[in-house]
Structure 1
Amino acid sequence: MLALNFKKMGGLIPAIVQDYKTGDVLMLAFMNQAAWEQTLKTGRATYFSRTREVLWVKGLTSGHIQRVKEIRVDCDNDTVLLKVEQVGGAACHTGYASCFFKKVEDGTLVHVGQPVFDPKEVYQL
């Protein structure tokens, strides 16, 4: 199996997630060794939650899963780029297609785009 360098960040590596068709950056998450292996095994993006300290399969609750189409590894083997099919059209837990829906304009943050879903309904908040 491909050996990634999980040592630099205390057992984690950044995972940049990109839409495989459009090239849009959807999110940034982290993987530990177990998340990496699960992603390779299942073809579904699996990450490590730094807050909850558990593995999480993207979309397990919302249904907005990420099917991995291609994986690229950087020159130091310590960052991965996942090119995914984003099922349901939204990668962000706030309902937006991308987690990067805030744009800096004249020193303020402006929301760009419209939410794809209402998180209160999906996550039953």
Structure 2
Amino acid sequence: MDWLDQVKWDAAGLVPVIAQEQATGDVLMVAWMNREALQKTAELGRAVYFSRSRGRLWFKGEESGHVQQVHEIRMDCDNDVLLLKVTQQGHDPSIACHTGRHSCFFQRQEAGRWVSVEPVLKNPSEIYT
């Protein structure tokens, strides 16, 4: 059986993917992959996702320059979630989020509200031109 056939794709042919920084263990982001994105990620050693909003493959960093080098691809016990162990590369390797932060998980629930707990490292208007 082909390794791609073992993934439990959802009805839209997608699987959720967690990108984790290899060096720190920080969870950087969650995205989606279709079969082609996963195959290209494995071939290139670079994160390629499927953008649901754009309806096409999204080579991480194609606009921002914040590329993710992939060291490992793992699958969970139910075969329906993937984990990428990555190293951020590019113009500013400390940024993974389109908001200019290190991680997309920068909001923490405190006393019934969401509080931003990570600083903006670079203004998004300077990243996306």
Does the alignment reach a TM-score above 0.5? yes
> Residue in 1 aligned with 2:106?
101
1:41 aligns with 2:43: yes
Counterparts in 2 of 1:1-125, with a 5 A limit?
A: 1-3=2-4, 4-87=6-89, 88-124=93-129
Partner deviation per Cα, 1:7-42 (whole Å, 9 max, x = no partner): 434200000110001111100000000100110010
Structure 2 length normalisation: TM-score? 0.90
CA distance in 2, matches of 1:55, 1:38: 10
> Number of aligned pairs?
124
The residue type equivalent to 1:77 in the other structure is N
Kept after mapping to 2: 8 A contact 1:6/1:32: no
Question: Bigger CA drift: 90-99 or 110-119?
Answer: 110-119
Aligned-pair distance for 1:71? Answer: 1.3
The residue type equivalent to 1:70 in the other structure is E
Kept after mapping to 2: 8 A contact 1:17/1:82: yes
Partner deviation per Cα, 1:35-78 (whole Å, 9 max, x = no partner): 00110010000000111100001111111100001111112222
Aligned-residue Cα RMSD (Å) equals 1.2
Structure 2 gap ranges (5+): none
Structure 1 length normalisation: TM-score? 0.93
Structure 1 gap ranges (5+): none
Identity of aligned residues (%): 50
Question: Bigger CA drift: 75-84 or 17-26?
Answer: 75-84
